[in-house]
Amino acid sequence: MKSSVKEQSRFDARLPKEQKQLFEKAATLGGYRNLSDFVFQSAQEKAQEIIQQQELILASEKDAQLFFDALTHANEPSEGLKKALQEYQQWTAKI
């Protein structure tokens, strides 16, 4: 039977002493177990936020392009649509 063990890798960083002290204080005040938990959780949240925002922008750009293409390369209205327009115009003329 195989156990599911997460593969891990190491991340080292050098930072100014004041910045480390700031992070440690935030970790303590935030109730994190240690500095590493604080840094990794914060970095993961920010990474997810950036990725989500970028994906939203890309989706919006794609939607805008589809809309623009539909406007500039519109097909001729179908017979059903033409009939519906006629019926609508007749109905609104009575009002």
pLDDT tens track for 51-68: 999 998 888 988 888 888
SS3 at position 77: coil
Q: Residue 2 — very low, low, confident or very high, per pLDDT cuts 50/70/90?
A: low
The predicted structure's pLDDT at residue 3: 64
The predicted structure's pLDDT at residue 54: 93
Residues 27 and 37: beta-carbon distance below 8 Å: yes
More confident residue, 1 or 67: 67
CA pair distance 22, 35, nearest whole angstrom: 10
Q: Is the pTM of this model over 0.75?
A: no
